[in-house]
Chains A and B, each alone.
Chain A
């Protein structure tokens, strides 16, 4: 049977479709760099939707991330964010958010301070930018306004009672209600299903009626993140009009609607912008021997080759397969890059899971030069055409430092700038 071979040519091949990969595609596309992107988008669908720059540093939560960033650049010069000016960081966030906003998901602009935002557990965390559908939550918290948080029967991964209970002390006017989602009959309710249901105007009217009748005197209503997938801003606006209250979303445990929104939006928008995208498929092999880099992958229909002048490795860490851990060593499986790692297995972890020093394994990753080009075994650039971005990079602990999005977006920005310079030569 003849299946014609398929080749995609590009100036830049982006390996990975998480935050770093998609941000790189946005930056490349804006700079008219012909790019192709492939990857299996896993953890993006887990995100709260918050874009953290730097949330925890020097033993405490960060109020002013720019000040903390400046300190980080002095004290930990190997950190991926250390080599990036705050101007570039700000521009990177602004440009990425502009793209997302142009495609139906508005985000708040990066401000001078972190915002205090709600987690699914009803605690507060600092973040730099969040979806506009969540902004009024920040407002409600700071104003300590009269507010009802609604949970839904069957929606695991979100407890209105827990949120209200955890915040009660500092916020006495918060209360919780548990209601039935309209047309949901029995069993488990998924946030994604509720969100899709609210894309239908009739279903919004039904929900609004219930909210109205249960919200009492509340000026604010907090809901789990279920306000549609495709056009959440419009759905929020509609519900606010129907109820006459200010409404905000609160992230849920995965599977997370804010993450699914982003993934679906990128999958739909990238092809429309001429970015060749092979969604939900991993690059399997890289070949640097030819004049162009050859990337091999396949989809259900057969093999695909991407032939590119440059490539950007944004494959993430252990969850997404960007890094692989054997019993006593960590490797980077695609290009075979050397991985900066603790000298022995014994040093990977502290004894205590929540040890405040963090675990050294989280600092493992790829070392790069100032242009975000990975280094080979001898400490020189592995290949002048290969770049890297995101949390695959070494010397950062995105979980503890709450800097995942910052690392992803800012390093993608600088890496694409470096690609642009390289292509211009």
Chain B
């Protein structure tokens, strides 16, 4: 593909636009801090430092065709550590957009197509009426099988509810019982919430495919849905990029959004502090150890240190101070696990696992039995590399552990528990 013949800006022009004012790429010292801290360095013989140098040397041809742009998850760690604040991840996003649709990883393209195919905005293509059916079906089951929750609610399209809650498609499509823990948490804290039948889904593969127009289209549907129901707070489920794609798009495209964007983790912390979620670590008699993954899309790229602290407050309260082991590095300096950016759908499994080696080493160094994470992509990737590198640890969402600690985790909500946690259930 000869992009020099297209009207779009060259990489160099794009790169210069992305610099902070008055900065210059001459300021790049090629110090290597970016590459040194990037898990994608060395894959496809490329790294962030090389990428930026090639941009400055007008090597557009090579940049537009290197598969490395699908291995960089755009986690922005390079930007975080760069003394010159050079945003290489944005350049990668631009590069992705230059690829013809038929050459892009088809798993990502297909997910974007599915996302646009129904009003659900679901990357698995689950239409609104099917989503409603699954929710009502699971709700019925919980009400009948868990007496304490015989009056459990899972509202859909409740106008004026305080919280608009999104839902990652994985649960309704493949493990619907896993939706229930969060409903029970909402019930206990008395949250006024609702799903929406339209634009209910969380994920957004259109951003990953570098398709700005499609990304906007999806977010517009979601923003409209929140505006329509008149909810004050859009409460993001335990999914990383769903928050980032929403918040980033609203800013980027200047959208009218008359609501606050919040993350579940912040609310777990708040509810615990307010005494509305009475969790504690008494259940952890065996001193089972836990670590926490900082999803790039929630911590480094979004809320920063404050949500990282909230997450650790929640984790420590749940498992016990002495049973929590932070991985190194952590918070905004943590490594991407390799689950983001569409990597899980890109079909480049060998590269993805090579990328994930650093995350595996981080977890191995903690010797923790469980990794807690509020992100579906982290969850899937960390599980996969755990099996691949034979780690022996398990990965769970916060809602699972919250319900476990309260003694309300239903029998078919225990899929991700290891034997040690299962043994504590009876």
Contact = CB atoms under 8 A, between A and B. Distances in A.
A280 B361 contact: no
A64 interface: no
B259 A1 contact: yes
B333 A192 contact: no
A230 interface: yes
B358 A254 contact: no
B207 to A, nearest CB: 16
B33 interface: yes
A264 B84 CA distance: 18
A229 interface: yes
B36 A255 contact: yes
Contacts of A255: 31-33, 36-37
B397 interface: no
Nearest to B365: A199
A193 B37 CA distance: 8
Interface string B357-395: 010011011000000000000000000000000000000
A301 B42 contact: no
A2 B251 CA distance: 11
B361 A199 contact: yes
B328 A300 contact: no
A186 B42 CA distance: 8
A271 B83 contact: no
Interface string B10-40: 0000000000000000000001110111000
A268 B294 CA distance: 14
Interface stretch (A40-48, A132-140, A404-412): A40-48
B358 A229 contact: no
Contacts of A188: 35, 41-42, 47
A279 interface: yes
A326 to B, nearest CB: 11
B83 A264 contact: no
A190 B36 contact: yes
Contacts of B301: 300
Nearest to A299: B304
B259 A187 contact: no
A1 B257 contact: yes
B329 interface: yes
Interface in A299-325: 299-301, 319-320
Indicate the size class of the contact surface on chain A.
35 or more
User: Which of B42, B261, B358 has the most A CB atoms < 10 Å from its CB?
Assistant: B42
B331 A196 contact: no
A278 B258 CA distance: 28
A333 B384 CA distance: 49
B15 to A, nearest CB: 19
B174 interface: no
B329 A264 contact: yes
Contacts of A1: 247, 250-251, 255, 257-261
Contact of A193 (B255, B300, B332, B358): B358
B8 interface: no
Interface in A178-206: 186-188, 190-193, 196-197, 199-200, 202-203
Contact of B361 (A46, A197, A254, A268): A197
B332 to A, nearest CB: 6
Contacts of A267: 331-333
B332 A200 contact: no
Given A187-B45, A190-B32, A271-B305, A45 B81 contact: yes
Interface in B52-67: none
A192 B37 contact: yes
Contact of B330 (A187, A268, A320): A268
B305 A301 contact: no
A277 B83 contact: no
A191 B36 CA distance: 8
B302 A300 contact: yes
Given A1-B260, A188-B42, A264-B329, A42 B36 contact: no
B186 interface: no
A16 B396 CA distance: 38
B303 interface: yes
A190 B35 contact: yes
Contacts of A300: 300-304
Given A264-B333, A267-B333, A190 B81 contact: no
Contact of B302 (A40, A197, A301): A301
B104 interface: no
B366 to A, nearest CB: 9
B36 A200 contact: no
A161 B362 CA distance: 32
Interface in B295-332: 300-305, 309, 326, 328-332
A408 B265 CA distance: 39
Contacts of B258: 1-2
B221 interface: no
Contacts of B303: 300-301
Contacts of B332: 267, 279-280
**Nearest 6 Cβ contacts at the A-B interface:** A42-B83, A199-B365, A1-B257, A230-B328, A190-B36, A255-B36
9 contacts: A1-B250, A42-B82, A193-B358, A229-B328, A254-B32, A271-B305, A271-B309, A280-B80, A300-B304
Given A187-B42, A200-B361, A279-B305, 5 more contacts: A186-B42, A196-B361, A199-B328, A254-B32, A280-B81
